């Protein structure tokens, strides 16, 4: 029978809404419901609050508040970055890593798209990146941390490759670097100048904020075409009355995530080590996928040779443990993960793989119970 206490280990798919975030949002659903574009005093108070939220987001990015565009989540921000640039240069090309989120890959494939190989641990092949960029490349998009296997990309090295290509190119086309940082926001530095990025995607639903909230950082001076035309909100890049509650909640969630990220990284790394050490004892045939050192502290991605991940997930759920086989956005697809394929895993290995992602409410007891259950089922 399913136990009464559920262990949630799919934080990469969704995080619960932080109580403080909900409290910050609530006034804007009822009392402070005014349209921030209206001219009367009550509406202008809401406008002021919205801009304060934007300034708070900009603070963590080391950016100006005018460079922050609020969006309805990471997928929209990724689409705005890609379509907003590439539609202006229909004959140019875009270069992306082979393990990007579907919202990057599918958008990029509308254009002349080149996909950069990754190594067996999911780290981008910098030599191949250098080869793929040419005088006709306008945009490079490389995610900060992978949503399936947790590998953290060397963004500074990527930015140096892009900068070197830009300095030697003969064409007059611009060249920009975009990164999807949705999975990295809880744990890594977001300062855009240190990362060397021109555009950066953030997602509230991954950081204990509201779903369908997020932002796109757009470096000043970069021209984008809007996806939605209308009243010209969000610097003309996202028309429509702003989701004030969502923006306020996203800002508060980002502030909390970045304030506590050093302590949370340390705590989760201990749980991650415990998870992996217990696995090596109880399931020695398990293979850990992704980078071992440059890895998100909450991610444990495994291949269990000879097992069927769908069966294991159902049995784990019956035991009160919720995990995943990969990206929630790709869960309905029947074909194996494009991320694992790009890393060289066979289809059989991909279909024997599981993803466990921990979060703020994961405990030592959760890890012990999960590994014990997994070992019992797999053996």
Task: Give catalytic residues, as residue numbers.
Answer: 329
* Residue 65: other Cβ atoms inside 10 A: 15
User: Cβ neighbours of residue 353 under 8 Å, at least 6 residues apart?
Assistant: 289, 301, 302, 303, 304, 309, 325, 326, 337, 340, 345
Phi and psi (nearest 5°) for 235? 60, 25
Cβ atoms of 349 and 320 within 8 Å: the answer is: no
Give the Cα separation of 176 and 52 in Å (integer).
Answer: 28
Give the Cα separation of 143 and 201 in Å (integer).
Answer: 9
Return the sign of the alpha-carbon dihedral for residues 83, 84, 88, 89.
Answer: negative
Cβ atoms of 145 and 151 within 8 Å: the answer is: yes
Return the closest-CA partner of residue 290 out of 122, 126, 148, 125: 122
Give the Cα separation of 11 and 357 in Å (integer).
Answer: 5
Both tokens of residue 259?
Answer: 């304030």
Backbone φ/ψ region at 45: left (φ over 0), alpha (ψ -120 to 50), beta = alpha
For the chain, strand residue ranges (E) read 7-8, 68-71, 93-97, 112-116, 137-141, 176-180, 199-203, 214-218, 287-288, 299-303, 321-322, 353-357
């Amino acid at each position: 029978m399913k136990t009464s206490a559920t262990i949630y280990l799919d934080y990469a798919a969704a995080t619960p809404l932080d109580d403080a975030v909900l409290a910050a949002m609530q006034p804007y659903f009822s009392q402070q419901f005014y349209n921030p574009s209206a001219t009367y005093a009550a509406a202008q108070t809401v406008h002021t609050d919205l801009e304060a939220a934007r300034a708070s987001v900009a603070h963590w990015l080391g950016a100006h508040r005018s460079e922050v565009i609020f969006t309805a989540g990471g997928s929209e921000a990724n689409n705005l970055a890609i379509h907003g640039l590439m539609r202006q240069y229909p004959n140019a090309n875009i270069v992306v890593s082979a393990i990007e989120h579907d919202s990057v890959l599918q958008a990029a494939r509308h254009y002349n798209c080149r996909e950069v190989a990754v190594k067996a641990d999911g780290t981008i092949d910098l030599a191949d990146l250098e080869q793929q960029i040419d005088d006709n490349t306008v945009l490079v998009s490389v995610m900060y941390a992978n949503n399936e296997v947790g590998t953290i990309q060397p963004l500074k090295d990527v930015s140096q490759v892009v900068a070197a290509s830009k300095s030697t190119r003969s064409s007059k086309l611009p060249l920009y670097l975009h990164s999807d940082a949705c999975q990295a926001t809880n744990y890594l530095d977001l300062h855009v100048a240190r990362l060397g990025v021109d555009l950066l995607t953030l997602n509230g639903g991954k950081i204990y904020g509201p779903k369908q909230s997020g932002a796109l950082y757009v470096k000043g001076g970069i021209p984008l075409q809007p996806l939605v035309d209308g009243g010209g909100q969000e610097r003309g890049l996202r028309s429509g009355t702003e989701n004030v509650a969502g923006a306020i909640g996203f800002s508060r969630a980002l502030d909390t995530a970045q304030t506590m990220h050093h302590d949370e990284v340390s705590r989760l790394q201990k749980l991650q080590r415990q998870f992996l050490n217990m696995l090596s004892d109880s399931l020695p045939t398990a293979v850990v996928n992704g980078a071992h050192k440059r890895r998100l502290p909450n991610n444990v991605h495994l291949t269990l040779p000879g097992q069927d991940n769908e069966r294991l997930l159902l049995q784990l759920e019956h035991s009160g443990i919720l995990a995943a086989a990969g990206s929630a956005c790709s869960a309905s697809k029947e074909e194996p993960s494009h991320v694992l394929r790009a890393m060289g895993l066979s289809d059989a290995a991909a279909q024997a793989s599981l993803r466990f992602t921990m979060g703020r409410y994961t405990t030592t007891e959760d890890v012990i119970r999960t590994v014990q259950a997994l070992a019992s089922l797999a053996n």
